[in-house]
Amino acid sequence: MQRGESVFNTLALIKPDIAQDEKAVSHVIRRITGRGYLIKDRVEIKLSNAQARAFYAEHAGKPFFDGLVAFMSSGPLVALLIEGDDVIRGWRTMIGPTSPAAARQLAPQSIRAVLGADGPRNAVHGSDSAESAQRELSFFF
């Protein structure tokens, strides 16, 4: 995964709540490339319930798990492999806090503030560490 001292790959997921809205998808892609990151690969996929359970296995048993799985398997999503300097931290900063309501207060220009609705319908996902990025990228690519 690591290509140089500070160049990394990470996963950006455009979730089912906005993945079918080409204007929203274009907004996310413009934000990614506008920051200087490269989109190295793109996959559009509809996860099965089993695939969504496997992807979010670390959250199994938590109160929100079943709803998250149902949502993530409810429609197509777009998985992007993005590359760039400090991309994990940079992408996480761009997407903002997990809660769209919190994002609107704390990071009003973030992707989740602009495109997110509520709870798991927060528009996008980003890997939170190099280890997570490696695991999550191998799920889709």
**Where along the chain do its domains lie?**
7-41+79-140
DSSP characters over 19-41: TT-HHHHHHHHHHHHHTT-EEEE
Report d(CA 124, CA 136) in Å as an integer: 14
Instruction: Output the CA torsion sign for 132, 98, 30, 15.
Output: positive
Count CA atoms closer than 13 A to 24's CA, side-chain side. Answer: 21
Please give the pLDDT value at position 2. Answer: 42
Among candidate residues 125, 127, 133, 136, the one labeled active-site is 125
- 36-60 pLDDT tens trace: 999 999 999 999 999 999 999 999 9
Q: Above 80 in pLDDT, residue 1?
A: no
pLDDT category, 119, cuts 50, 70, 90? confident
What CA–CA distance (Å, rounded) separates 135 from 96?
22
> Which residues, 6 or more positions from 37, have their beta carbon under 8 angstroms from its beta carbon?
82, 83, 84, 87, 90, 91
Query: Does the 7-41+79-140 domain belong in CATH 3.30.70.141?
Result: yes
Among 98, 104, 94, CA closest to 31: 94
What are the DSSP E strand ranges found in 51-119? 77-85
H or E segment and range at residue 123:
none
- Amino acid, single-letter form, for residue 104: R
Helices H, strands E: what count in the chain? 7, 4
Mean pLDDT of 108-117: 97
Q: Is 59 a catalytic residue?
A: no
pTM above 0.85, yes or no: yes
Residues facing residue 126 across a β-bridge: 12
